């Protein structure tokens, strides 16, 4: 079992996404929350990084955070699954530990 990585920072402001992608072991899960969800959008300067990561990691985004920021589900990169808070809890039980890239 691998761990769950959580990113809560915008990829346009902080390096949390890049560092996470560098240090998240292949096969591990990555969850985007809070301002981290901006990385989940298609057609941005970081979109290709996430699209590439979808091939090697399980990607998730917290739906209430997308809704709050006006990011429609149709704007999300293919391969990113949406979860609510119950799904977030569920994810942490299915992985072996949690690292938050603050």
In whole angstroms, what is the distance from residue 34 CA to residue 94 CA? 21
User: If we measure between CA atoms, which residue out of 91, 25, 94 comes closest to residue 53?
Assistant: 25
In whole angstroms, what is the distance from residue 60 CA to residue 6 CA? 9
Residue 9 CB, nearest approach to other proteins (Å): 9
Binding site for other proteins (CB under 8 A): 2-3, 6, 8, 15, 19, 22-25, 28, 33-35, 62, 64, 84-86, 88-90, 92-93, 96-102
Residue 42 CB, nearest approach to other proteins (Å): 24
Residue 75 CB, nearest approach to other proteins (Å): 20
User: If we measure between CA atoms, which residue out of 83, 5, 69 comes closest to residue 37?
Assistant: 69
């Amino acid at each position: 079992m691998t761990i769950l990585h959580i990113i809560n920072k915008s990829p346009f402001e902080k390096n949390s996404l890049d560092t996470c992608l560098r240090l998240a072991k292949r096969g591990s899960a990555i969850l985007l929350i809070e301002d981290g969800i901006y990385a989940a959008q298609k057609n941005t300067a970081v979109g290709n990084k996430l699209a590439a990561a979808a091939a090697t990691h399980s990607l998730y985004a917290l739906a209430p955070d997308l809704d709050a920021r006006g990011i429609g589900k149709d704007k999300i990169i293919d391969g990113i699954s949406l979860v609510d808070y119950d799904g977030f809890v569920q994810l942490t039980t299915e992985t072996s530990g949690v690292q938050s890239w603050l």
